[in-house]
Amino acid sequence: MEYIYIALGAAVVILLFVVGYLKAPPDTAYIISGLGKKRILIGKAGWRVPFFERVDKLSLRVMQVDVKTSEAVPTNEFINVMVDGVANVKISSDPELLKRAAESLLGMRQPEMIGLITQVLEGNMREIVGSVGLKEMVQDRQGVAKKITENVVPDMDKLGIEVVNFNIQNFKDNAGTIENMGIDNVEQIRKNAAIAKANAQRDIAIASANAQQEANAVKVSAEKMMAEQNAALAVQQAEMQVKADTKKAEADAAYSIQQEAQRKTIEIARTNADIARKEKEAELADKEIALKERQLDAEVKKQADAMKYKTEKDAEAALIRRQKDAEAKMFEAVKAAEARKAEAEAMRYAMEQEAAGIRAKGLAEAEAIEKKAEAQKKMGEASVLEMYLTALPEVVKNAAAPLAQTEKIVMYGEGNSTKVVRDVMESTSQIMEGMKESTGIDLQSLLLGAMVGKAGKAE
């Protein structure tokens, strides 16, 4: 239970801390009041006691205020003027001035605040305009604006307002005094300009005459000097002409000699050039022929390689085709052989089954014969032998009957017609062995005994 109370207490403390936590932006003043001394927060965090302290906010942003005189204001020269100005103001961040602003402006909306500040500024502007002259006002707007700012500061301090700057936009008067002052100034400027122009023209004429006189003296002296120089120049030119003619004659002779030598050199060079050109042409023709031969060789070789490649590929394709055909034929032969083998095995199986049937039939007939033999036992061995010999051809015929009905017999290994006869004879022997086992009469022994007896009688 104690832990629960501690947890609830901690939760309450945390809740109070969260609810009471404040963080003021740099352009807004948080004013905390209610318990003891007021506290102001600007651009930092703080805490208030919930439910016991309140928080009010004052914006510290700059506000622009248009200040215009609602009616004409007389200057110290009794000239009525209309003044239009603009001011940028804000609630001061100074703690003392901020407390005054909290007392006088807290809860006031911005339009109401701007209206109050406009009235204070307009009153101070009227006061300053009435103490200065029109000329000073027009020529020194910055000075007049500074006077208005200095005059309004005490009143603004009482409200906790700071004047950032104040500028005068325009002056007007209904009598046109400012315009006339401009005209007077323009005329005065024109007058001063005309006087200055006349003085300048006079100075220009004097300076021009003096300059012309000096120029004439300089011109005479220069012409005299030029004449002397021209005479000296003519003498020097004559002397130089003589020297030049001499040098020219010498140069012409030397030039002729040099020209003849150059002509010979040029002819030799031209001949050498022709020989070299012809050699180059011959060399170029040889190179072109060699290049053409290499091109032809390359083309022939390329064509031969192509034909060789085509022949090889055709041969490979034919070989592959023959291999495929051989494989197909071998496969068909194997399949045919397997089919023939399967057919022979089936026929052999059928023959064996038929032989078994015949054997069974023979056994049945043997049993009948045995019974008949018992009836004829008294007749003696000669009678029995006669009966067996009479029945033996029929037995062999019945054993060979299935082979007579077969159209085609395929034999593998060592099989041939002799083996077929042997198989028939073996079937006959098996029948005789069966008769021996069933009747106890050995046909071969009887035949042998009969032959021996007959031989004895003959002897």
In the chain the domains, ranked by start, together with CATH numbers, are 2-56 (no CATH), 61-175 (3.30.479.30), 344-458 (no CATH)
pLDDT in tens for each of the 459 residues of the chain?
677 777 777 776 677 666 667 778 888 888 887 777 778 778 787 877 777 778 878 888 888 888 888 777 777 777 788 888 899 999 888 888 888 888 888 878 888 888 888 888 888 888 888 788 777 777 778 888 888 888 888 888 888 888 888 888 877 777 666 665 655 554 565 566 667 777 777 778 788 788 888 888 888 888 888 888 888 888 888 888 888 888 887 777 777 777 777 788 887 878 888 888 888 888 888 888 888 878 877 787 788 777 878 888 888 888 888 888 878 888 887 788 788 877 777 777 777 777 677 777 767 776 776 676 566 555 555 565 666 666 666 666 666 666 566 665 555 545 555 665 566 566 666 666 666 665 666 666 666 665 555 555 554
Tokens of 256: 């002729």
- Residues sharing a CB contact under 8 Å with residue 410, sequence separation 6 or more, in sequence order: 340, 341, 343, 344, 347
- Residues sharing a CB contact under 8 Å with residue 41, sequence separation 6 or more, in sequence order: 22, 24, 29, 30, 32
d(C-alpha 412, C-alpha 344), whole Å: 9
State the helix-helix crossing angle for 177-375 and 381-404, rounded to 10 degrees.
Answer: 160
* Short-list 431, 289, 255, 272, CA closest to 360: 431
pLDDT of residue 404: 62
Through-space distance between the first and last CA atoms of the chain, rounded to whole angstroms: 149
pTM greater than 0.85 = no
Q: How many CB atoms lie within 10 A of CB 32?
A: 21
pLDDT of residue 459: 47
Q: From its phi and psi, is residue 39 left (phi > 0), alpha (psi between -120 and 50) or beta?
A: beta
For residue 170, what is the enclosing H or E element?
Answer: strand 161-172
CA angle (86 as vertex; 80, 91 as ends), nearest 5:
130
Question: Is 451:444 a contact under the CB 8 Å cutoff?
Answer: no
